[in-house]
Amino acid sequence: MDKKLKAVILDGYTENPGDISWSCIEQLVDLTVYPRTSPDKIIERGKDADILIVNKVAITRELLEHLPNLKFVATLATGYNQLDCQALKEKCIPVSNIPAYSTNAVAQMVFAYILELINKVSEYTADVKSGTWCKCEDFCYWNSPLYELDGKTLGIIGFGKIGARVSRIAAAFGMRVLCYTPSGKKDGFPDVEFTDMDTVISNSDFISVHCPLTPDTAGLINKDFICRMKKASYIINTARGPVANEKDVAEALKNGTLAGYGTDVLSTEPPEEDNPLLSAPNCLITPHIAWAAYETRVRLMGILEQNIKAYLNGAPINVVNN
């Protein structure tokens, strides 16, 4: 029997805090798992590895000089900007990512924000538990209006798999769906009106952002963007934190230009204590967990297994540095 290649997972905790087995990977390689690895420990832990499996640990050109056995890098995510893919390519080391594994979970989180912002379930629950309803003269109590989604307009910026899934859920709620995507109209979505960015911004009650972070999209959601929106509308950001100018968003929430903001991503993660969104009203923030449903992470593990199998069989898949 051939000796198994040595694989090291440098930051496995976020993918698997203990509720999923690594056994499918252990059957393929000689596996060592570290929950987290600081930059000064990468060389020590990875110097003998044939395969490195990483999530957010950065692999730089300089580090590669100290990883002489490295033959393959597998990410535990779709994004791979923390890896020097060009340097890895020059050394003929393929990098495989995990595409399209979190579509359902992220789309679900989009509507968790939307429903919380307009139905205020947690806010009313807190009022009830504090005794406010007990003191009410009427059988029901409310202190702010509630709204139906039916008939409202959802604008989608970016129309990959997640944006497409969001559009189908919106249609099921009876919403009108507008979409801007640089690639143009997509077939198979009769409920989606593909249009220009200005039309999406000025006509939407809710805007859900699903574009990649590029020089063109960095700071896309800024004061000018918000001023062009309908009054008392909402933004949901499950793309990347730097897509939004957080200072502008916080200011718009404080002055009422923006009715609400829901985000799973911030410009710095974990956030700095002075991040303006942390104290902004009507701002829902989750700690980068939209992708992290149990079923989603099981799916991620399955794709990781496929990526490693394909590499071992001499035909790597999902390679991002061809």
Q: Are residues 203 and 234 in the same domain?
A: yes
Number of domains comprising the chain: 2
Task: Kindly name the residue from 26, 62, 65, 269 that is annotated as catalytic.
Answer: 269
DSSP state for residue 142 in the 8-state scheme: -
The type of residue at 58 is A
- Rounded distance, CA 203 to CA 302, Å? 41
Task: Kindly name the residue from 240, 246, 297, 299 that is annotated as catalytic.
Answer: 240
Active-site annotation holds for 240 = yes
Q: Are residues 138 and 195 in the same domain?
A: yes
Residue 96 falls inside a structural domain: yes
Answer positive or negative: Cα dihedral of 272, 76, 285, 124: negative
pLDDT of 268-298, one tens digit each? 999 999 999 999 999 999 999 999 999 999 9
pTM comes to: 0.91
If you average pLDDT over residues 23-46, what whole number do you get?
97
Q: Are residues 83 and 135 in the same domain?
A: no
Answer positive or negative: Cα dihedral of 62, 67, 72, 76: negative
pLDDT of 161-216, one tens digit each? 999 999 999 999 999 999 999 988 889 999 999 999 999 999 999 999 999 989 99
Q: Are residues 171 and 248 in the same domain?
A: yes
Whole domain around residue 17: which residue ranges? Answer: 6-101+294-312
Residue 235 falls inside a structural domain: yes
Q: Which helix (H) or strand (E) holds 284?
A: strand 283-285
Active-site annotation holds for 269 = yes
Q: Are residues 36 and 107 in the same domain?
A: no
Residue 320 falls inside a structural domain: no
Asked if 85 and 54 touch (Cβ cutoff 8 Å), the reply is no
Q: Are residues 132 and 55 in the same domain?
A: no
- Rounded distance, CA 144 to CA 124, Å? 10
Residue 131 falls inside a structural domain: yes
Residue 75: give its domain's CATH number: 3.40.50.720
Asked if 78 and 33 touch (Cβ cutoff 8 Å), the reply is no
pLDDT of residue 185: 85
Residue 107 falls inside a structural domain: yes
Active-site annotation holds for 62 = no
**Count of H-run helices and E-run strands, the chain:** 11, 12
Residue 319 falls inside a structural domain: no
Q: Are residues 10 and 145 in the same domain?
A: no
The type of residue at 235 is I
Task: Kindly name the residue from 193, 251, 288, 305 that is annotated as catalytic.
Answer: 288
Q: Are residues 69 and 122 in the same domain?
A: no
Q: Are residues 148 and 250 in the same domain?
A: yes
Residue 70 falls inside a structural domain: yes
Beta strand extents in 146-232 (DSSP E only):
153-157, 176-180, 192-194, 206-209
pLDDT at 81 over 90: no
- Rounded distance, CA 55 to CA 12, Å? 7
pLDDT of 134-146, one tens digit each? 999 999 999 989 9
Q: Are residues 245 and 139 in the same domain?
A: yes
pLDDT at 1 over 50: no
